[in-house]
Amino acid sequence: MVSGRACKHRFEGGRGCNAPPGLESDYCFWHDPEKSDESAEARRLGGQRRRRERVVAGAYEFNGLESIKDLRRILEVAVIDVLGLENSVARARALASLVTTAARLLETGEFEERLEAIESVMEQRPKPPTGRRR
């Protein structure tokens, strides 16, 4: 059963928070006066994480996982890191796994390129007439 209770905090302008309150409170975690130290620490840690993400992403030239190029970059970083490890069975297994992943990624990239080429040719072809044949 869903409770209709909402946090009693009011923002400037009178709009309510609408987050669910704690079990024994009229306020959500973020607005509960008894949890102000905990919520401040959570905000601080969240800010540190976001800053760290930006620094790491910049260092590794990471732009996300939205394209084959982005995936290749992460795979390159992983391979370089593993190649830098001492020889071991675990290193050999990791390299084998990375090579398998790279092969799949190259295959996917090749299929993507071929599909784009086919679509480009199809777009240049004249459209067939839309009328019925008799």
Task: Judge contact between 75 and 101, C-beta under 8 A.
Answer: yes
Q: What is the pLDDT of residue 103?
A: 94
Q: What is the pLDDT of residue 1?
A: 42
Give bridge partners of residue 10 from the DSSP assignment.
Answer: 16
pLDDT tens across the length of the chain (134 residues):
455 788 888 888 889 888 888 888 888 888 988 888 888 888 887 778 788 888 888 888 888 888 888 888 989 999 999 999 999 999 999 999 999 999 999 999 899 899 999 999 998 888 777 766 65
Q: How far apart are CA 66 and CA 64, in angstroms?
A: 6
Q: What is the pLDDT of residue 107?
A: 92
> Which of helix, strand or coil describes residue 10?
strand
Q: What is the pLDDT of residue 43?
A: 81
- Alpha helices by DSSP H, the chain: 36-59, 68-83, 89-124
Q: What is the pLDDT of residue 13?
A: 87
Cα 41 to Cα 11, 46, 102: the distances in Å are 21, 9, 41
